[in-house]
Amino acid sequence: MQGAGQQRALVKLLGGAALGLLLAVPTMGVLLTAAWAGSGCGDGMPMMMNKEEMRGMMGGGRDSSNDDAVRGSAVETVVIEDFAFSPGNLHVPMGTSVTWINRDAALHSATDSDGSWDSGVLSDGERASLVFDTRGTVDYFCTLHPNMKARLVVE
């Protein structure tokens, strides 16, 4: 995502409880982690691979960035399901809060292709929200399944 001087806050939520806060400074390309409140690493992280994860690693995952464009409003949700983002080609007005929620048993992330922001790994039912306050096209993907790609256009 291009743009100077923007600052965006990403909040990862689990069951409505804030787990932490990431501040992204895209101009510097640096991710700062602030207040990863009590989440720790690997809580509830499954060590065994399930069928879905196997599928993902075998090249599963869909690029939905060229799906029919969906017009969104000020608050939008992108569902991660069956190894795809839906809607995968979402157009929203500037200032929109977008929430990604994982509905797969497999772990997924929503991660800016240029590294400006990253939801972190989301397990089933987990969500992450980000406010987009700069116009532009955001291509993003899942770090665990790089074939999973999607697009967000901030107008």
Residues of the shown chain interacting with Cu ion in the complex, contacts defined by CB under 5 A: 108, 142, 144-145, 148
Least gap, CB of 145 to Cu ion (angstroms): 4
CA distance 87 to 64: 8
Quote the least distance from Cβ 61 to Cu ion, whole Å. 6
**In degrees, to the nearest 5, what angle opens at C-alpha 61 toward C-alphas 56 and 18?**
80
Residue whose CB is less far from Cu ion, 134 or 150: 150
Q: What stretch of H or E contains 80?
A: strand 75-81
Tokens coding 146: 């790089």
Q: In the complex with Cu ion, which residue's Cβ is closer, 98 or 134?
A: 98
Minimum CB separation of residue 133 from Cu ion in Å reads 26
Pick between residue 63 and residue 133 the one whose CB is nearest to Cu ion.
Answer: 63
Continuous segment of H or E residues that includes residue 129: strand 127-132
